[in-house]
Structure 1
Amino acid sequence: MKYLYFFTAFISTFAAAQTIGTQLFATGFNSPVEIVHAGDSRLFVVQQTGTIRILNANQTINPSPFLNISSLISTGGERGLLGLAFHPNYATNGFFYVNYTNTSGNTVIARYSVSDANANVANQASATILLTIPQPFSNHNGGTLRFGPDGYLYIGMGDGGSGGDPGNRAQNKNELLGKMLRLDVDGGTPYGIPGTNPYVGIDGADEIWSIGVRNPWKFSFDTTDGNLWIADVGQENVEEINKVAAGDGGYNFGWRCYEGNSAFDTSGCAAQNTLTFPFAIYSSATGSGNCSVTGGYVYRGTTYPNFVGKYFFTDYCSDKIGMVDGAGTVTFSSVQPGGSFTTFGVNAANDLFIASSANGVIYKVIDTSLSIPDNEKTAFNVYPNPASNVFNIRSAGGAFPVALSVFDLSGKQLLQQDISGESEQIDISNLQAGVYLVNTEDHLGIKSTTRLLVD
């Protein structure tokens, strides 16, 4: 199709600074805290209240939950159903894993199976508990589960809560709290220990992969280089983002000795040169507007070339989406709609999504700059811009008749219309809020593109 070719060529011809934005994707969720895919077109949305809902590629939500364990969990604050990971061989074995706080407030890692009869429903009776970890306080439960490129299951555990890690658990190698754990879910019953975990055969808990985290609220593996990115919530002044090679672990990320790069309580701590300090930090001190980091993903999609290789995160209080480049430089977007962002997610195509616990909405993260220079001359004027329901197009020297097309940012054509008059009104009432391209080509073959914001 010639218009799609023109769109692709236009994007590749110009380069501009990326601008992070959001586009409404789905509504109707209750306290979403995780978004995961299972290798197909569906997104599985974890609700802190104890259910997992399926969001389809056409943006509809299945009426029946995939899993409902609301009767098994404690809720409120930082407790609840917190994590979900699909086995690398899910397509054949049907196994998936959840992380929740039980009715006693303790962390549970459990395995379930999908129903043999219905791929959109789990077998509620298939639960096998792998691990239960006592929690001394209600906060800092971590919650994320991810399978690494090595096929092992990684688990992020907070330091047990309260403030300042009063039990010094994060530095205690015999405690599972304040750690990154790694299990071989195929290597034993209920699990095995990877032979290269750092404390196997010596003093320390065998499940530990690395120590010294406070509350790792989301971690992920870069699908290109395998690096592990961990967003660790700070105590008072510093939010930190760690980037390390997956490998065999043994890292000490420093808490409670250090908050980010700053000393916090160094009594009895290991030598500074044995610690792994953050790849990037930002301030959450009073007056910054920030309070708590939510980790995301390194963008590996194809829709937004400017985003590729950048790590995305957000802050729960500031409602801004942040980005870390290869040098560890942090940049923030303007304030995004929704706010109180609790999780990112990616689909099988590596499109990036973000969820708001404030309104139960899932947004797609987009590049609003779209690599279109501000001084791009067009043969037609589009107004008003932003627009709602309709926009007008008026000749600025173009020749009629004119073929007009509207594309979304993935290059999908949403509207095509022939225009024969000097001014015409275009109905866009079926378009969701977001950024679009209006392409025109007159009968002389002169083409132009205008970016249209729909609110």
Structure 2
Amino acid sequence: MKIILLFSLMMMSFFGQSQTITLQSFATGFDSPVEITNAGDSRLFVVQKGGLIRILNTNGTVNTTPFLNISTLISSDGERGLLGLAFHPNYTTNGYFFVNYTNISGNTVIARYSVNSGNPDIANTTATILMTISQPYSNHNGGSIKFGSDGYLYIAMGDGGSGGDPEGYAQNLTINASFPTRVFLGKMLRIDVNSTIAPFYTIPATNPYFGQSGLGEILATGLRNPWKFSFNRLNGDLWIADVGQSSVEEINKVANPLPNTGINFGWRCYEGNSTYNTSGCAPSSTMTFPFAQYARSGGACSVTGGYFYTGSTYPNFQNKYFFTDYCDDKIRMVNSAGVITTTTSFSGNNFVTFGEDVNGELYIAGISSGTIYKIIDSSLSSSDFETNGFSLFPNPAKESFTIKGSTVNLATKIDIIDLTGKLLFTKQVSTNPENTITTASLSKGIYLVSVETTNGTNYTTKLIIE
């Protein structure tokens, strides 16, 4: 009983600590990366603003040949470019994926491509264009596209640009005959892309404007520039980061199942919870206000949306949505109560996208640095482990890890214990300052490593196996 009690107290001490977010460089050399996603396997696909999609492997290497190169089709000045990528839920059988880019005329294009049947690392260059949406200005293009748990493709559109939504697009539902597709600006669109006849999509019957010519694709209104949205892959909740005008950056959350009555996120009537320009606006009671927001202060200027953490490697990350800001490079988390916590700055990156791998672990990319980082919780060691001269590396580990001690504090025995307290591995070691342990027999997850020293003292730390 004493052993169990002591172990329980030790566990409480470990998990009472707050997480420490650290960025671990995973791959470098990208040219303006703006999206990271996966196709249901271990690869990551990195979208470069100039028109290339590159494959990033689990060992951090990047394929020399791009998965797709459509740079000749794209205008990439300012906020324009190849901005979004989404793989069809049935990608393994139909090979379809979809992109969002601004063409050489500056208009938004949603197009379908397919993978080469003989090489899974190369895409066919023939496209089927589903939508072309007229853009009046060069900024506020939105860009994210994602599949929801309902199997439909969601498309986030900015308000068309300039500043203050001068044309009132975000609240507008009246079609301009000269530019009919501009009614989609400032909206979230939802379409079913499983049609085999032009325009190669249909409108879900649950869309709020279903049956209304020219409006059926619209799911929600009142967005300014939704720079990244995502779905919680476990429960289908929708998270949208919407860039503010001058004062407030906002995070919107819509629980699954999404309402089919038409969501209005408030812009240009409101910026976050604050009044912006309510001329001609519907009552505030009809609008959906942010789940969380933060002020443009301390260098913040433009929110970058991320993901609700659904991985298993870092328990401290669970039940939190991750996002950041382009200007201050601080990673932020918001919990279920809407409380935001903020890290110090990882400056020099200009973070514009997060990524989620097939296991729900998170990555982040800097458009300026061209670096893809893995987001990890570095609060792995108990204080006495490090202060007594021990270190464990790499952590997270894949095939092995090494424990290094000082010349006056040598390990004689190393134990690996799972989080239930079960002893999985023990090894008597020599008085060598460094001892390497293979981890081939361990599954992915978190473990405790206990070191017994020459004087009989035990020191413990956490180990993550990837």
SS state of the match for residue 121, structure 2? coil
- The AA in structure 1 aligned to 2:339 is T
Give the equivalent residue in structure 2 for 1:163. Answer: 163
- TM-superposed CA distance for 1:305, in Å, is 0.3
For 1:381, which of 360, 383, 389 is the aligned residue?
Answer: 389
Q: Aligned partners of 1:404, 1:373: CA distance in 2, in Å?
A: 15
> Is the contact made by 1:378 and 1:396 (CA closer than 8 Å) also made in structure 2?
no
Between 183-192 and 87-96, report the one with greater CA deviation: 183-192
Distance 1:48 1:239, change over 3 A: same
Q: Does 1:82 align with 2:83?
A: yes
SS state of the match for residue 186, structure 1? coil
SS state of the match for residue 170, structure 2? coil
- TM-superposed CA distance for 1:445, in Å, is 7.5
> Is the contact made by 1:403 and 1:442 (CA closer than 8 Å) also made in structure 2?
no
Distance 1:229 1:417, change over 3 A: farther
Distance 1:93 1:419, change over 3 A: same
SS state of the match for residue 306, structure 1? helix
Give the equivalent residue in structure 1 for 2:369. Answer: 359
Give the equivalent residue in structure 2 for 1:206. Answer: 216
> Is the contact made by 1:320 and 1:332 (CA closer than 8 Å) also made in structure 2?
yes
> Is the contact made by 1:404 and 1:418 (CA closer than 8 Å) also made in structure 2?
no
- The AA in structure 2 aligned to 1:255 is W
Distance 1:192 1:384, change over 3 A: closer
Q: Does 1:314 align with 2:324?
A: yes
Give the equivalent residue in structure 1 for 2:422. Answer: none
> Is the contact made by 2:96 and 2:112 (CA closer than 8 Å) also made in structure 1?
yes
Q: Does 1:123 align with 2:134?
A: no
- TM-superposed CA distance for 1:200, in Å, is 1.4
> Is the contact made by 1:402 and 1:420 (CA closer than 8 Å) also made in structure 2?
no
Q: What is the TM-score when the length of structure 2 is the normalising length?
A: 0.83
Q: Does 1:259 align with 2:260?
A: no
- TM-superposed CA distance for 1:339, in Å, is 2.3
> Is the contact made by 2:35 and 2:46 (CA closer than 8 Å) also made in structure 1?
yes
Q: How does 1:270-349 map to 2 (within 5 A)?
A: 270-284=282-296, 287-336=297-346, 338-349=348-359
Give the equivalent residue in structure 2 for 1:140. Answer: 140
Give the equivalent residue in structure 2 for 1:411. Answer: none
Q: Aligned partners of 1:443, 1:384: CA distance in 2, in Å?
A: 18
- The AA in structure 1 aligned to 2:142 is G
For 2:194, which of 157, 165, 186 is the aligned residue?
Answer: 186
Q: Aligned partners of 1:146, 1:383: CA distance in 2, in Å?
A: 41
- TM-superposed CA distance for 1:369, in Å, is 1.7
Q: Aligned partners of 1:240, 1:417: CA distance in 2, in Å?
A: 54
- TM-superposed CA distance for 1:367, in Å, is 1.1
Identity, in percent, stands at 58
SS state of the match for residue 170, structure 1? helix
Q: Aligned partners of 2:287, 2:108: CA distance in 1, in Å?
A: 27
Report 1 or 2 for greater relative contact order, CA contacts < 8 Å, sequence distance ≥ 6.
Answer: 1
SS state of the match for residue 223, structure 1? coil
Gap runs ≥5 in structure 2 = 1-6, 175-182, 394-401, 417-426, 437-446
SS state of the match for residue 288, structure 1? coil
- The AA in structure 1 aligned to 2:364 is I
Q: Aligned partners of 2:102, 2:185: CA distance in 1, in Å?
A: 14
Give the equivalent residue in structure 2 for 1:431. Answer: none
- The AA in structure 1 aligned to 2:286 is T
Between 14-23 and 71-80, report the one with greater CA deviation: 14-23
- TM-superposed CA distance for 1:145, in Å, is 0.4
Q: Aligned partners of 1:13, 1:331: CA distance in 2, in Å?
A: 21
SS state of the match for residue 460, structure 2? strand
> Is the contact made by 1:21 and 1:336 (CA closer than 8 Å) also made in structure 2?
no
- TM-superposed CA distance for 1:442, in Å, is 4.0
Q: How many residues align?
A: 422
- TM-superposed CA distance for 1:404, in Å, is 9.9
Q: How does 1:62-81 map to 2 (within 5 A)?
A: 62-81=63-82
Distance 1:392 1:254, change over 3 A: same
- TM-superposed CA distance for 1:165, in Å, is 0.3
Distance 1:425 1:219, change over 3 A: same
Q: Aligned partners of 1:442, 1:41: CA distance in 2, in Å?
A: 39
Q: Deviations over 1:248-284 (max 9, x none)?
A: 4410000000000000000000001000000000011
> Is the contact made by 2:19 and 2:316 (CA closer than 8 Å) also made in structure 1?
yes
Give the equivalent residue in structure 2 for 1:149. Answer: 149
Between 194-203 and 170-179, report the one with greater CA deviation: 194-203
Give the equivalent residue in structure 1 for 2:440. Answer: none
SS state of the match for residue 269, structure 1? coil
> Is the contact made by 1:22 and 1:337 (CA closer than 8 Å) also made in structure 2?
no
RMSD across aligned positions (CA)? 3.3
Q: Aligned partners of 1:417, 1:442: CA distance in 2, in Å?
A: 11
Distance 1:245 1:451, change over 3 A: closer
Q: What is the TM-score when the length of structure 1 is the normalising length?
A: 0.85
- TM-superposed CA distance for 1:378, in Å, is 6.8
- TM-superposed CA distance for 1:201, in Å, is 2.6
- TM-superposed CA distance for 1:226, in Å, is 1.2
> Is the contact made by 2:232 and 2:307 (CA closer than 8 Å) also made in structure 1?
yes
Q: Aligned partners of 1:44, 1:383: CA distance in 2, in Å?
A: 34
